[in-house]
A = this chain, B = another copy of it.
């Protein structure tokens, strides 16, 4: 990108010293860290209903018990993370906790699960947000993929500029969503009690045929698995403890409790209303939109509901834009990912990580046609795998720390570990064929990639190490000036003279080489030669197949073998640089070709060949 263009789009560079942290109050922290968790109310109840609907409308009655089960699980997970917050007050992401307490491999598995989870958070939240929009404006339904991609583009742009985790800005959609959801739930329940809300008559359950019970059990487990996506993002607060005002851990713990209560109330309320109203999930309209339309009618409050839902979902996607690049940078610092991911751009953001996240999330949206429902089976696997590993790490942590009440703490985290572990198995098994297999396949691939990259960096460090080298040897050789130098030329003109001249100044052993492709050009060079370069021998190479590079490679490799102690032949390349970039199309790029060929050829006897570029700039 042109520098000025880049400035216009991304803003002026920020100095490293401007990287200061703004501490958050509990109220603002709730807005910043809970959008991911709270926004899942927009799709989780719907996913329970969708999974049950496969068995017929009569199955929908199971939604309430399933929702209650998930709420119990939420409380268990929240208590576990409450402990993590106090155990890792400097921020305890699953990678760090698993890596420190369980070792390298569990750490890498957790990292893989988290990276996949972050990408899916973006895809799922964006498509669900677009679902809220298309529910209100059905005419936009055919454009959900382009709308979703535009949303990703905007969020990516904002993050490349560097959005601070601004509590004030984030408060509006988060608290707006909480307020409108509570209004919806209270209003809905009141209308239900006063009987002013039309509900569908409960269908009498059909008799269950023998052998059908297994099928029902599978459906219930699948519905439960789908519903567990409500728990995604619960861990966010435990990652962000250092952002809280002092005392950090205490404030974070209180915020976690508040978030858990809000999430439980909204999730149960929405599930209860959906069941009471007899809402049937459909492709065209989300369940929340259907409830909203029933309770608020088609008025202003309904539009507020849909807007707030879309906004909090986009905000949830935005949280991954902080988490994914940060984890990538940590992994890159530990040499498990390319080091470019740890480069902070001039706006102090990890630009490469942000772009990678945007591309991956967009790819998923395109592949799954922007349908939230098709992405859900991939989502919960990574989340619960990281939950389980994190809890296991915490058990180990308390066990090795043995501080006051460590047994209690370990017991609580053990319950969390077992619960999330069982849920992980349920999710993977029941959703395997629906897409969970993709994640099951990807995690070992990620881990293998991490490992391979680490091996590469270790081998490079080893190869570059000075440990076997003697400084004296290098200092002593400074006087030597007997390089074998070859200057390949295609013609004798102002563009080639500077190269020939530079070659003269670094060695007495210079040879000019011309590959004979056009005999009249070669003849002209030979004619001019004595006048201009009488001190440099000119060698003409035959080229029966009109290749420039072939004969040159042969000649230089032969020259390398002559007096090998003097090192490989140095190549001095004249290169003329055109005034306009498109002029490049009008010239044979022979110099570049030669450079490319020789730079990738290893030199003899451990010393690599030096290539010298002598440019000549055309002025117009």
Measured CB to CB, the residues of A under 8 A from B are 13-17, 338-340, 343-346, 453, 456-457, 459-460, 463-466, 469, 471, 474-475, 477-481, 483, 491-495, 497-498, 500-502, 504-506, 528, 531-535, 544-547, 575-577, 583, 585-588, 595, 599-600, 602-603, 607-620
**Can you list 15 A-B contacts with CB-CB less than 8 angstroms, sorted by A residue number?**
A17-B544, A453-B586, A460-B618, A463-B620, A466-B532, A471-B531, A477-B501, A477-B505, A478-B504, A478-B535, A506-B506, A602-B617, A603-B617, A608-B615, A612-B613
Which among B475, B495, B603, B611 is the interface contact of A464 at CB below 8 angstroms? B495
Residue on B nearest A346 in the bound complex, by CB: B545
User: Which 8 pairs, one residue from A and one from B, show the smallest C-beta to C-beta distance?
Assistant: A464-B493, A13-B545, A15-B544, A478-B504, A611-B613, A602-B617, A608-B615, A346-B545
CA–CA, A5 and B326, complex, Å: 43
A577 contacts across to B, CB distance below 8 A:
599-600, 608
CA–CA, A457 and B586, complex, Å: 8
A345 contacts across to B, CB distance below 8 A:
546
A575 contacts across to B, CB distance below 8 A:
599
A456 contacts across to B, CB distance below 8 A:
583, 586
Is the pair B498, A608 in contact by a Cβ cutoff of 8 Å?
yes
CA–CA, A477 and B346, complex, Å: 45
Which among B344, B466, B494 is the interface contact of A494 at CB below 8 angstroms? B466
Describe A's contact surface by its main secondary structure. Answer: mixed
Which among B17, B500, B533, B613 is the interface contact of A599 at CB below 8 angstroms? B613
Is the pair A465, B480 in contact by a Cβ cutoff of 8 Å?
no
Is the pair B471, A16 in contact by a Cβ cutoff of 8 Å?
no
Within the complex, the shortest CB–CB distance from A608 to chain B, in Å, comes to: 5
Is the pair A459, B544 in contact by a Cβ cutoff of 8 Å?
no
Is the pair B493, A466 in contact by a Cβ cutoff of 8 Å?
yes
CA–CA, A478 and B480, complex, Å: 18
Which among B481, B501, B532, B587 is the interface contact of A505 at CB below 8 angstroms? B481
Is the pair B471, A532 in contact by a Cβ cutoff of 8 Å?
yes
Within the complex, the shortest CB–CB distance from A440 to chain B, in Å, comes to: 26
Within the complex, the shortest CB–CB distance from A184 to chain B, in Å, comes to: 47
Most buried by B among A339, A483, A603, A617: A617
Which among B478, B506, B611 is the interface contact of A615 at CB below 8 angstroms? B611
- Given A474-B501, A532-B466, A535-B475; A14-B340 close (CB under 8 Å): no
Is the pair A528, B466 in contact by a Cβ cutoff of 8 Å?
yes
CA–CA, A456 and B576, complex, Å: 14
A338 contacts across to B, CB distance below 8 A:
585-587
- Given A457-B586, A506-B506, A586-B338; A576-B464 close (CB under 8 Å): yes
Is the pair A608, B614 in contact by a Cβ cutoff of 8 Å?
yes
A583 contacts across to B, CB distance below 8 A:
456
Residue on B nearest A345 in the bound complex, by CB: B546
Which among B453, B603, B613 is the interface contact of A613 at CB below 8 angstroms? B613
- Given A471-B531, A577-B600; A465-B493 close (CB under 8 Å): yes
Residue on B nearest A595 in the bound complex, by CB: B613
CA–CA, A609 and B588, complex, Å: 22
CA–CA, A619 and B501, complex, Å: 34
- Given A498-B608, A505-B481; A546-B615 close (CB under 8 Å): no
- Given A613-B611, A615-B611, A617-B602; A494-B464 close (CB under 8 Å): yes
Is the pair A546, B588 in contact by a Cβ cutoff of 8 Å?
no
Which among B602, B609, B616 is the interface contact of A608 at CB below 8 angstroms? B616
Within the complex, the shortest CB–CB distance from A594 to chain B, in Å, comes to: 12
Within the complex, the shortest CB–CB distance from A527 to chain B, in Å, comes to: 12
Most buried by B among A15, A498, A534, A608: A608
Residue on B nearest A528 in the bound complex, by CB: B466
A475 contacts across to B, CB distance below 8 A:
532-535
- Given A492-B466, A505-B478, A544-B17; A612-B615 close (CB under 8 Å): no
Is the pair B501, A478 in contact by a Cβ cutoff of 8 Å?
yes
A611 contacts across to B, CB distance below 8 A:
612-613, 615
Is the pair B610, A617 in contact by a Cβ cutoff of 8 Å?
no
Is the pair B497, A474 in contact by a Cβ cutoff of 8 Å?
yes
CA–CA, A603 and B577, complex, Å: 12
Residue on B nearest A469 in the bound complex, by CB: B494
